[in-house]
Chains A and B, each alone.
Chain A
Amino acid sequence: MSILVYIENIEGAFKKSAFEAISYAKAIGELTQQEVQALSIGQVDETELNKVGKYGVGKVIRVNTDKLSQFQNQAYAAVIADVARQVGATSIILSNSFSGKGLAPRVAAKLEAALIDGALELPTISGSSWEFRKSVFSSKAIATVETSAATKVITLNPNTFEAKEADTPISVEDFQPSVQDKDFSIIIKDIVRATDKVALPEASIVVSAGRGMKGPENWGMIEELAEILGAATACSKPVSDAGWRPHAEHVGQTGLAVSPNLYIAIGISGAIQHLAGVSSSKTIVVINKDPEAPFFKVADYGIVGDAFDVVPRLIEALKLKKG
């Protein structure tokens, strides 16, 4: 019995959520006295691999064949399941990222494992029974899920478990997986990635704006605020429906669910469908000119005022603070 954590990279650099997953795996390892091994698929250099040790996991299994240099859902799932079997892993941990979401059910099905998606914290373990808490009903509720299955696939939501440094020397072992040609049936024609921007699902700060901004031409200050904070930008549904912002920025019940450390809502009323996707943020700041806006009910800090006046001042204050 051991724990396997799959760590995702983007073009050779591990994602922040990968380090969170390592720390999470390590904590479960300590709880259950099991060894933890990390699995990296694709081209990742030594310096980057050494970062795995920084978060306390010393054993890294590297799968690096030409064919696997780019993400392939079926093939990656086959590799993860294959490695899990080889090393006798009974808990397999993945990030609940866009790629992780596509992998986890396949890995679980291959291993006849229970799938716990979007774990919010460490499990409560008694004997063979593990209990996890996870969000359901688009963050309108939390469920406790119990499993006694021998093998478990667990996905961890970004920003829910802090990556903790714990320097450990690493040893890297290369692994030759068994994959079949039919696992490579998808052809990647193009990858479009805005590299200069913070990715919304993983962002620890999100600056979000709604219809109160009046039009797309006013997003300059939203982007400036986000840049100063190192934040990702998001928006309400009508804003993306109107084409003011791309669909990928739409958060809420029918958009992306996010749980950053800080969510700043500007000119958003706080409709129940919007709140469903953002209410699990740790700290919420609302800027709205209407004191009756429902968003204030779930906010930690609020400013009743005109965004066109408040946001530029906030930018100035942050610049001053930064020095």
Chain B
Amino acid sequence: MKILVCISQVPDTTSKITFTDNNTAFNTAGIQFIINPYDEIALSKAVELAEGGQGNVTVIHVGEAASDATIRKALAIGAYEAVRVDAVPRDAWFVANQIANYAKEQSFDLILTGRESIDYNGVQVGSYIAELLGIPSIAIAKKIEINGTEATIDREIEGGKEVLSVSLPIVIGAAEGVAEPKIPNMRGIMGARSKPLQVISPIDVPVLSTIKQYESPAPRGAVKLIEPDNVAQLVELLHSEAKVI
């Protein structure tokens, strides 16, 4: 089974998000980048599947050379080889076109993404890839089981789940519960250095939208403290002041 895992890199979750150039660009100064946590889950699932039987895991990343450390980490976790499309990942549409263009000649059985990137939170790349390849997709999966050429997937729905079955190939967005994130061991880290990392050129994709400006969320006023023995006051404030109950 050939598995492709799409890896994005995102600011570490503790990062404070600030902007430069008149609030038109994300300020990367001092930011530590990590593999998107959901992509780590997707990759861990792929490695688990490959270890459990026959299988081959390729990771793909759309980004510049600065992301190579993140890619090496993915290789250390257990991917066999990596591909980097050498371009600024402008938006989900651009990224998906690059990945679909690579994948269309490779006939992957399974393409995994994270459910969403925690920077742009689009939940888009996976569904775009599937549409471009003309194959089914599950945007947010809580559980994935593969049996030969059949996949059984729990899809997240409001207040519950759907249990689905489908023949491969498919694109699936991995959410929590799909796998325990694997931590690279020493052998993995050493081995990652010699695994193949292929760099390919991007294709042209028309620009459909652009981010013009960023802002920080409006700060809240000071907290109104209420005495613990006076909860009736809280109820009253929520009713008549905040008007939420």
Minimum C-beta distance from A174 to chain B (A): 27
Measured CB to CB, the closest approach of chain B to A241, in angstroms, equals 9
**Does B194 sit within 8 A of A, measured CB to CB?**
no
Per-residue B-contact encoding for A299-321, CB less than 8 Å = 1, 0 else: 11111111001100110111011
User: Which residues of chain B are within 8 angstroms of A320 by Cβ–Cβ distance?
Assistant: 232
List, in ascending order, chain A residues with CB within 8 A of B109's CB. none
Chain A residues with CB under 8 A of B107: none
For the complex, give the distance between the alpha carbons of A105 and B173 in Å: 13
Q: List residues of chain A with CB within 8 A of the CB of B136.
A: 73-74, 185-186
Give Cα A201–Cα B229 distance, bound, in whole angstroms: 32
Chain B: minimal CB distance from A19 (Å): 15
Which single member of A114, A144, A276, A280 contacts B213 (CB below 8 Å)?
A: A144
Q: How far is the CB of A311 from chain B (nearest CB, A)?
A: 9
Q: Shortest beta-carbon distance, A307 to chain B, in Å?
A: 10
- A169, chain B: closest CB distance, angstroms: 30
**Which of A141, A229, A284, A321 has the largest count of B CB atoms less than 10 A from its CB?**
A141
Q: How large is the interface on B (under 10, 10 to 19, 20 to 34, 35 or more residues)?
A: 35 or more
A253 to B176, CA, bound (A): 12
> CB within 8 Å of A: which of B159-182?
159-167, 175-177
Tally of A-B Cβ pairs under 8 angstroms: 257
Cα distance A65–B162 when bound, in Å? Answer: 21
Q: How far is the CB of B179 from the nearest CB of chain A, in Å?
A: 13
Nearest chain B CB to A282 CB, angstrom units: 7
Q: Give the complex CA separation of A300 and B241 in angstroms.
A: 11
The 8 Å CB contact of B161, one of A192, A253, A279, is: A192
| 22 residue pairs bridging A and B, Cβ less than 8 Å apart | A73-B127, A98-B155, A102-B138, A104-B124, A110-B131, A118-B121, A131-B212, A137-B11, A144-B212, A146-B209, A146-B210, A147-B209, A186-B136, A187-B166, A193-B159, A199-B159, A247-B142, A261-B244, A272-B14, A283-B238, A302-B225, A321-B235
Known contacts A146-B210, A301-B225, then 12 further A-B pairs from the complex at CB < 8 Å, ordered by chain A residue: A73-B138, A102-B123, A110-B131, A114-B208, A189-B164, A191-B160, A194-B159, A198-B159, A200-B158, A247-B175, A248-B156, A314-B235
| Chain B contacts to A: CB under 8 angstroms | 11, 13-14, 16-17, 19, 37-38, 92-93, 96, 118-125, 127-128, 130-132, 134, 136-140, 142, 152, 155-167, 175-177, 208-217, 220-221, 223-229, 231-232, 234-235, 237-239, 242, 244-245
In the A-B complex, the 6 residue pairs with the closest CB atoms: A305-B228, A102-B139, A193-B160, A199-B158, A105-B127, A199-B159
